[in-house]
Amino acid sequence: MISDYLESVKKQFAYYKMLGEKTFGQLTNEQLNWQYNEESNSIAMIVNHLSGNMLSRWTDIFNTDGEKEWRNRETEFTTINPNRDELLKLWNRGWECLLNALEQLTADDLDRIIYIRNMGHTVAEAINRQLAHYPYHVGQIVFIGKMLCNEKWSSLSIPKGGSESYNANKFAKEKHREHFTDDFKDDKS
């Protein structure tokens, strides 16, 4: 069961990474840097924050606090205007740190205590914390993308009007066990 948990969270994080990337692919450089108002975040700002958080939380997790001294969270929310390549490098740097850290974990590590701002978490709790945090921000990225693309938006899940067909396809198959993200690797199911 524990090894299933680790495999499941790896797939879920990869799924949310993919959702962000499929959103980026539908947007222009200008749209990646667009802000609704001064109090809102652009996609670039959200990416900057996610990357900073991932690097801080998942670098040397067993020996250093997850809120690293070198991290400046406040600057993650300042206006930046990267081009697409710079944005993707920032995005990938954070995700690589997270996914590499997860790959190194064993079932025995899940009960080990690590610290975030001096608060002890089991590794499993820290994973769950971030599995709520990162999709929250990826959802913001997708929402901004949908607003900007409007009718040109290409759905990342079941498109409007497609539920009946999608469900008919699912229920036409025998009951089986698979991870929900397996459907989303190569299509927009």
What CATH number is given to the structural domain containing 54?
1.20.120.450
Instruction: Name every residue whose Cβ is closer than 8 Å to that of residue 184 and which is 6 or more positions away in sequence.
Output: 15, 18, 157
Write down the pTM of the prediction. 0.92
Is residue 167 situated within a structural domain? Answer: no
Chain segment 34-62, per-residue pLDDT in tens: 999 999 999 999 999 999 999 999 999 99
Domain that holds residue 121: 2-154
Q: Cα separations (Å) of 162 from 165, 166, 174, 187? A: 6, 6, 21, 14
Is residue 173 situated within a structural domain? Answer: no
Helices (H), the chain: 2-24, 29-32, 43-58, 84-104, 123-149, 163-171
Q: What total of structural domains would you count in the chain?
A: 1
Is residue 8 situated within a structural domain? Answer: yes
Residue 155: name the closest of 2, 16, 19, 39 by CA: 19
CA 179 remoteness from chain centre: 17
Is residue 27 situated within a structural domain? Answer: yes
Is residue 31 situated within a structural domain? Answer: yes
Chain segment 136-168, per-residue pLDDT in tens: 999 999 999 999 999 999 999 988 899 999 899
